[in-house]
Structure 1
């Protein structure tokens, strides 16, 4: 009877994890959201209130989670919540000339959410993960954190976001080193390019930016046809998660289980 906690489960990929995992009644599935009442109800899922930037709320959610599993353990912790500023998504580094305060604000928000928020989440649930026999902690990252990938594809955008995702990959690797002897397996996992509702609501300007990004992806991935459905991405990610071994702990992999990001 495996247990799962999905941090950032209100929509998109996080909600997709809830739908997939709840289909098996033997799973214990817990989702975290800032506003639980706004989350679409799913049978066999418990939604708890928590905010990535509020350690106290995460600790409270972890305390509540101990009462929801038979042994008070969490087998899989999946940290999904992230910040990608729409207004800065398609600005290259030199585009911030004269917009230094804006860049600093975007970088601070990205680092706070995508790095510090991950650390808060992991630390809140670590005591529960330690009780598990499975002991897996997965943080959703991005192929945009792979310098070789975006250099080959010619993609100068999503600056603050990419920096923060590279940072969280380091954080995951540090956790892997710290808890190797306790058998806890950590992984930074890219979901690929996913067609979430947020993605489909791009502004005309951002759609143009995405078109340029897609052209860049095509240089490295000639078969790239555009975003995959949430269901497909989640299914592939779970295959990687369920196959994760201690020897892979600390690695940065794609939803394909390798370095193919699309």
Structure 2
């Protein structure tokens, strides 16, 4: 029976992860802590109200250390001395740059949200998670951050997003290496190109498909996968297809 915390759970993938996790048997999932910056969107309110107390809202400004410390205290109090088992760093930001790399905008914010804030949230929860048995941290990444795949996505005008996600993958590895002997499992996971506000209407997969496949990765990979960058697996998408020849084969992503 594991507890989960998801950043950026007010919409899109984060909200769907919270929803699907809350429907798992109690023997698998005890609490889902769904974080948002301030207000609680109606969709998350409805999920909380219908979760029989299993989904709990936690205010969290991921770029504010004081807010992170308050969130850690709130979660620790709710768990009554038990550890948070799984941290899912899902919150992220994407900027488009349509007029060339020299005019790239949003690089500072991309690093602050997609890399530095992930580090801050992770480091903030470490002392709590060290008391537990599962000790799993999932960083939501993307194949757009893979240097090996960069020729495939050369025409996608989101350089700040690509650069920051490549850095996130290295951050994942650094944590994985240092905390390996303490039993932690750090994974970078690409959830696929999803039909969300971020992904747009032309994306490959529904948010429900992406969330289900991401949860499968979380459940099916333990400490032996520590430090890996993993693709989701979606039946029928094992080979390249769709507008961008994406594929979701469940294997490790070269990066």
TM-score (ref. length: structure 2): 0.83
- Aligned match of 1:206: none
Q: Which runs of 5+ in 2 are unaligned?
A: 234-249
Paired residue secondary structure (1:64): helix
Residues of 2 paired with 1:153 and 1:120: CA distance? 29
Shift of residue 260 of structure 1? 6.4
- Aligned match of 1:240: 217
Residues of 1 paired with 2:187 and 2:198: CA distance? 25
CA contact (8 A) 1:7 1:32 kept: yes
Paired residue secondary structure (1:67): helix
Q: Which structure shows the higher helix fraction?
A: 1
Q: 1:74 aligns with which of 71, 84, 92?
A: 84
Residues of 1 paired with 2:82 and 2:157: CA distance? 43
- Aligned match of 1:184: 184
- Aligned match of 2:238: none
2:37 is the counterpart of 1:37: no
CA contact (8 A) 1:36 1:47 kept: no
Cα deviation digits, residues 184-233 of structure 1 (max 9, x gap): 000011111000134337xxxxxxxx8xxxxxxxxxxxxxxx42011111
Cα deviation digits, residues 80-138 of structure 1 (max 9, x gap): 000102x42x4542xx3xx3xxx3x5111100110000001101111122111111000
Residues of 1 paired with 2:153 and 2:32: CA distance? 38
CA contact (8 A) 2:194 2:200 kept: no
Shift of residue 258 of structure 1? 1.3
- Aligned match of 1:139: 139
Q: Which runs of 5+ in 1 are unaligned?
A: 202-209, 211-225
CA contact (8 A) 2:193 2:199 kept: no
Residues of 1 paired with 2:183 and 2:155: CA distance? 37
Within 5 Å, give how 1:78-89 maps onto structure 2: 78-85=88-95, 87-88=96-97
Quote the RMSD (CA, aligned, Å).
Answer: 2.0
Cα deviation digits, residues 13-59 of structure 1 (max 9, x gap): 00011100111351211011102432522123101101111111111
Shift of the 92–148 alpha-carbon distance from structure 1 to 2, 3 Å rule, reads farther
2:19 is the counterpart of 1:19: yes
Paired residue secondary structure (2:155): coil
